């Protein structure tokens, strides 16, 4: 990909207008010929994708996000590749971020003059330090429609003045996903404070399923650094941080089958205790791409996820047990009348659990707005590899 002229502090800011990943086209600010030679269409909505520290626009998460965006709508997708500025020491990269934000704002102003695009049709998606870059761009232009911040970084930004970081005044709608709020001394990178109109905290915004626990992540990263496995260290270091982008990408085409239903709540502990798990008064939303549609789902929202969209359930040997997990059906469920349940205790730790479970109630919440189905098991005994049937009640 061709780089545009590098600005102050040597920020590489490559912009690409892509209609099919792999078919990138270079657009250079103040170069009308580059715009005319591209497939950029001012009638379409425009999405900027901005990577963060020590990343570039060719990262797997960025390419997957772009692919899903283009499958959802015929956008102008512009990838901002500032890898040179992002590869410095963290302190220098945070300073470079301001310049990159100014360059995006400059491009928006130029596109407004040259192609007559409206900022009301522009959406900037930024991951990590890229989320604050989106904020810097938004504060310099009028009427930006939307910014999506994917785990904005915390160091140098936590508890700072809004002018320093992403905040709700940077666009008409700012949605944020927090996935890596551990303290920096435990290798956490994400910001904890709410910085948008709506802030989602999946799994409390801390350890994400599938990324290992704190002990494994910390010592695994230290060991990989000792053995000079730098790529392995980076992967362990960033798993929770990148998971925000994975959630957002997955949400783009998931709204009909399996939305990331999220609920306004005072804290994740309250949510985990089942105090805020309904859409009463429409105080809920769908985390990610479609959150803009849920006008009352604002503030801090919480949800639980599995390691992947098709979740496995980890059972605790306590009684009674409340289990929540997500599944992705291949089509809409329709009207539910009964459900067949079967569990398999063929696991390495099955000896920890009883041979028989007693099913009292099953609740299914489908879609947003929610359809709620309750099935009564009346404490039916469920044994391994034996199917039981529960009916709506």
User: Which long-range CB contacts under 8 A does 210-218 form with residues at least 24 apart?
Assistant: 210/239, 210/243, 210/306, 210/307, 210/308, 211/239, 211/240, 211/243, 212/236, 212/239, 214/182, 214/186, 217/187, 218/186, 218/187
Longest dimension (CA), the chain: 72
The tokens describing 94, both together, are 């945070």
- Is 241 labeled as catalytic in the residue annotation? yes
d(CA 12, CA 87): 10
pLDDT at 253: 84
Cross-strand bridge partners of residue 380: 359
Can you point out the beta strands (E) in 96-161? 122-127, 146-150
Q: Which of 128, 251, 262, 304 is catalytic?
A: 128
230-252 vs 214-226: helix axis angle to the nearest 10? 140
- At residue 50, the 3 state secondary structure works out as strand
The DSSP bridge partners found for residue 173 are: 146
Query: How would you write the pLDDT of the chain (393 residues) with one tens digit per residue?
Result: 222 333 332 333 334 444 445 667 888 899 999 999 888 999 999 999 999 998 999 999 999 999 999 989 999 999 999 999 998 988 999 999 999 999 999 999 999 999 999 999 999 999 999 999 999 999 999 999 999 999 999 999 999 999 999 999 999 999 999 999 987 666 678 999 999 999 999 999 988 888 866 545 554 445 444 444 343 344 445 789 999 999 999 999 876 666 788 889 999 998 888 788 777 767 889 999 999 988 888 999 998 887 664 333 334 444 455 555 555 554 566 677 777 877 666 554 455 556 777 777 777 766 666 677 777 766 677 777 777 777 776
Which of 179, 137, 184, 129 has its CA nearest to residue 153?
Answer: 129
Q: List the end-to-end C-alpha distance of the chain, in Å, as a whole number.
A: 59
Spatial CA neighbour of 136 closest among 120, 149, 121:
149
71 given a catalytic annotation: no
Smallest CA-to-CA distance from 167 within 149, 154, 179, 140 is with 149
Active site residue 128: yes
Asked if 389 and 377 count as a contact pair (C-beta separation under 8 A), the reply is no
Q: Distance between CA atoms of 308 and 202, rounded to whole angstroms?
A: 13
Give me the catalytic one of 241, 244, 246, 290: 241
Instruction: Provide the pLDDT for residue 224.
Output: 41
φ/ψ of residue 299, rounded to 5: 95, -150
Which is catalytic among the residues 17, 56, 81, 151?
Answer: 151
- Residue 63, judged by CB atoms within 10 A of its CB (0-12, 13-18, 19+), counts as middle
CB contact at 8 A, 287 and 202: yes
Q: pLDDT value at position 47?
A: 96
Cα–Cα nearest to 379, from 351, 359, 362: 359
User: What local confidence, expressed as pLDDT, does residue 321 receive?
Assistant: 52
């Amino acid at each position: 990909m061709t780089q545009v002229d590098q600005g102050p502090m040597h920020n590489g800011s490559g912009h690409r207008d892509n209609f099919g990943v792999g078919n990138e086209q270079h657009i250079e600010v103040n170069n009308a010929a580059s715009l005319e030679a591209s497939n950029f269409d001012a009638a379409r909505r425009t999405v900027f994708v901005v990577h963060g520290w020590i990343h570039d626009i060719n990262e797997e998460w960025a390419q997957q996000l772009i692919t899903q965006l283009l499958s959802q709508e015929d956008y102008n997708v512009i990838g901002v590749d500032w890898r040179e500025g992002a590869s410095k020491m963290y302190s220098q990269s945070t300073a470079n971020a301001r310049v990159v934000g100014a360059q995006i704002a400059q491009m928006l102003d130029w596109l407004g003059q040259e192609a007559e695009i409206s900022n009301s049709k522009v959406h900037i998606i930024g991951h990590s330090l890229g989320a604050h870059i989106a904020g810097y761009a938004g504060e310099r232009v009028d009427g930006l429609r939307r910014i999506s911040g994917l785990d904005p970084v915390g160091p140098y930004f936590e508890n700072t003045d809004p002018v320093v970081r992403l905040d709700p005044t940077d666009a008409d709608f700012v949605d944020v996903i927090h996935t890596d709020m551990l303290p920096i001394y435990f290798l956490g990178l994400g910001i904890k404070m709410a910085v948008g109109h709506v802030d989602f905290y999946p799994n409390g915004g801390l350890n994400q399923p599938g990324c290992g626990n704190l002990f494994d992540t910390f010592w695994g990263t230290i060991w990989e650094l000792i053995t000079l496995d730098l790529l392995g260290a980076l992967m362990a270091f960033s798993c929770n941080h990148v998971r925000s982008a994975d959630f957002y990408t997955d949400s783009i085409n998931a709204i009909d089958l399996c939305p990331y239903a999220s609920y306004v709540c005072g804290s994740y502990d309250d949510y985990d205790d089942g105090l805020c798990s309904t859409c009463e008064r429409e105080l809920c939303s769908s985390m990610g791409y479609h959150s803009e549609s849920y006008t009352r789902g604002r503030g801090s929202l919480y949800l639980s996820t599995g390691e992947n969209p098709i979740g496995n359930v980890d059972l605790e040997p306590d009684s009674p047990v409340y289990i929540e997990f997500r599944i992705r059906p291949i089509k809409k469920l329709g009207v539910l009348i009964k459900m067949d349940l079967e569990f398999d205790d063929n696991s390495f730790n099955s000896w920890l659990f009883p041979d028989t479970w007693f099913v009292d109630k099953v609740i299914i919440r489908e879609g947003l707005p929610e359809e709620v189905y309750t099935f009564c098991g009346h404490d039916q005994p469920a044994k391994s590899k034996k199917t039981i049937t529960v009916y709506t009640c």
